[in-house]
Amino acid sequence: MSATPTTTLFTPANLINGTWITEGDGTFNTVVDKYHGTELARIPHATEAQMEEAIAAAYASREVLRKMSAGERSTKLEALAALIAKHEEALANLIVQEGGKPIGYAKTEIARCITTVRTAAAEALRFSGEVVALDYGAGVGKTAVTKRFPIGVIAAITPFNFPLNLVLHKVAPAMAIGCPVVLKPAPQAPLSSFVLGLFMEEIGWPKGAFSVLICNVPVAEKLVKDERVAMLSFTGSDKVGWHLKNICGKKKVALELGGNASVIVDEGVDLAATAKSVAMGANLYAGQTCISTQRIYVVKNVFTQFRDLLVKEFNALKAGDPSDATVTVGPIIDKTHFQRISTWVEEAVNGGAQVLAGGKPVNANRNVYAATLLTGTKNTMKVSCAEVFGPVTIIEEVADFNEAIACVNDSTYGLQAGVFTPSIAHMKVAHNELEVGGIIMNNVPGFRIDSMPYGGIKDSGLGREGVKYAMEEMSEPRLLVY
C-alpha cells in the first residue's frame, strides 16, 4: 500500500523508487521527542524486497543522471537550497525535537545545510579533470586529459547528530556529480531525511535516483553488500563502520567515524577567551559530535589558572530543554547512552579521577547530564581512551608543548585537534607531528566549514568529505591520450 505525501513537513513512510510506502515488515521505528519523550512518528521497517526495489531503481537511474547536464544538476541543487531556506524555521524545530539539539545550534545546522547544497551547485559547474603532462620521452607529441565520471550507486548511512547536514554531505555531492543514492538515516532521528525526500520530489529529481528507507540491520547489510552499489559512504561509530567495510566487498568505502578530540593550551594565549571557547566546544549539543573536545592538555605554567577559568565556564553552562535558546547542554539521545555516560564517569572517579565540575545528572528523567570536567585521569579510562559522545571532558597538566603533542597522539583515534598557541614554531610542530586529519589553530577541534576536506586517520576512518572532496570519492578519472 502506498501513501500520498501529506502537507506536513515529513511523511511517515519510506520513499522507494518514487513512491511513499506505509507498509513494511510489520515492525516500526518509533521516533520520539528527545526531551519530552512524546511520539513524533512511526516509520515502517522496510523489507528485503523493498530494499531490492530501491537498489534496482537506483541502478537503473544511472543512465538518466548520466545524460543530465552539469547545468541541470546545478539548477536542481539551487532549487533544493531554496526549499531548505523556505522551511528553515520548521526544519530547525524538527531537529530540536527528533535530535534533542539546542535551537540555536539547530538553526546553525540548517544554515550549514543551505551552504552545503549551494556549494554543491557551484561545484557541479566547475568540477573537472586535468591535463596530464606527457610531452617528453615516449610521450613526445602526445596530449593527455582526464575527465571524471560518476562511480554509480551510493549507499549512504548517516548518524543522528546532524540529521540533515550530514545527510546532505553525502547526497549533495552525489547529486552534483550524478550518482544515485539509497539512504538509510539514523533510526533515532530520521525525519529530516524524509523531509529531504519530499524536497527531492518537488525539485523534480529523477524517480528512483533517491530513496530513503528505515530498516533493520539485515536489510541494511543487504544494501552494503549488494554488488550494484559502487560505494559505501558511512558516518557513525568506529565499531559499526569497520564491520561494514569488512562485509561490503570490492566497492569503494568512505568512513567518517569517531574520535576523542583533543585541545592543547600553550603559554601566551588569552586564557579567559580560550576557556570560554573550550567549554562551548566540549559541551555544545551535550558533546554529541565526533569532534567535540574531550581531552585537554595544558602546559604546566598556565595549568592552574586555565583550569580554574574552565571550571567557572563549565558551571555557567545551562542544561535542559533544547527549545530554550539559553540552553547549551540538551538531552542525551537516549536512555542507554545516558546510562553509559554516567557509568563511565563513575568508573573514572572510582579509579582516582577528580570531578571539577558536573559529574552527575541534571534531570535523569529527561536524559540530561551535567557539563562534566574531570582531572587526574589515566589514559586507560574510558573517559580518555574511548569516545564519550557526551558532555564529559578531561583536563590534564603536561610539562611542555612536546609532551602535549605526545598525549594527543596517544590515542587510537585521529580526527581533528585544536591548538591554542601564539607560537608560529609550535604551529609548525603541530602540523608536522599531530596524528590527526585536521589541526585547528587557536580554536576548538569542533570547527568545520562544509567545503573543507574533513576526515580522520587511525580508527577515525578513511576518505574525506567536504563537497569537492566527496565528489572526488564518488567519481573516477578516465584518461584520454591522443
Assess contact for 232 and 157: CB atoms under 8 A. yes
CATH superfamily to which 262-449 belongs:
Aldehyde Dehydrogenase; Chain A, domain 2 (3.40.309.10)
Helices 88-99 and 70-86: crossing angle in degrees, nearest 10, is 70
* DSSP 8-state assignment for residue 10: S
318-373 pLDDT, tens per residue? Answer: 999 999 999 999 999 999 999 999 999 999 999 999 999 999 999 999 999 999 99
Burial class of residue 374 (count of CB atoms within 10 Å of its CB; 0-12, 13-18, 19+)? buried
Output the CA angle 426-430-436, nearest 5 degrees. Answer: 165
- The predicted-structure confidence for 90-122, as pLDDT tens digits, reads as follows 999 999 999 999 999 999 999 999 999 999 999
Architecture of the domain defined by 14-257+460-481: 3-Layer(aba) Sandwich (3.40)
Cα torsion angle, 231, 235, 240, 241, sign: positive
Q: For the chain, what are the domain ranges?
A: 14-257+460-481, 262-449
Candidates 290, 396, 397, 465; catalytic one = 290
Q: Is 290 a catalytic residue?
A: yes
DSSP letter string, 432-444: HH--SSEEEETS-
What would the mean pLDDT of 393-412 be, rounded to a whole number?
Answer: 98
List C-alpha distances in Å: 30 to 38, 44, 237, 288, 302: 10, 9, 21, 21, 49
Classify residue 290 by its DSSP letter: T
Condensed to tens digits (0 to 9), the pLDDT of residues 222-271 reads: 999 999 999 999 999 999 999 999 999 999 999 999 999 999 999 999 99
Contacts of 446 (CB under 8 A, 6+ apart): 261, 281, 284, 289, 291, 292, 293, 416, 418
Task: Give start and end residues of each alpha helix (H) in 161-299.
Answer: 165-177, 191-203, 217-225, 238-247, 271-283
Decide if 209 contacts 180 (C-beta within 8 A): yes
Question: How do residues 168-194 score in pLDDT, each as one tens digit?
Answer: 999 999 999 999 999 999 999 999 999
Of residues 7 and 239, more confidently modeled: 239
Q: How far apart are the C-alpha atoms of 412 and 93, rounded to whole Å? A: 36
pLDDT one-digit tens code per residue, 48-86: 999 999 999 999 999 999 999 999 999 999 999 999 999
pLDDT of residue 5: 36
Is 248 one of the annotated active-site residues of the chain?
no
Quick one: pLDDT at residue 2? 41
Closest CA to 161 of 198, 183, 194, 192: 192
pLDDT at 8: 65
Which pLDDT band, with edges at 50, 70 and 90, does 10 fall under?
confident
Residues 6+ apart with CB under 8 A from 153: 55, 58, 59, 62, 179, 180, 181, 182, 228, 229, 230, 231
From the list 5, 52, 50, the residue with the least C-alpha distance to 25 is: 50
H/E element, 285:
none
Compute CA distances 169 → 48, 83, 174, 265, 449, whole Å: 26, 17, 9, 31, 12
Residue 465 C-alpha from the chain's centroid: 9
Q: What integer pLDDT is reported at residue 379 of this predicted model?
A: 95
* Percent of the chain topping pLDDT 90: 98
Out of 256, 313, 387, 473, pick the active-site residue.
Answer: 256
Helices (H), 31-69: 48-60, 62-67
Residue listed under C-alpha cell 598556565: 302
Q: Are 451 and 245 in contact (CB under 8 A)?
A: no
Nearest to 457 by CA among 407, 404, 416, 403: 416
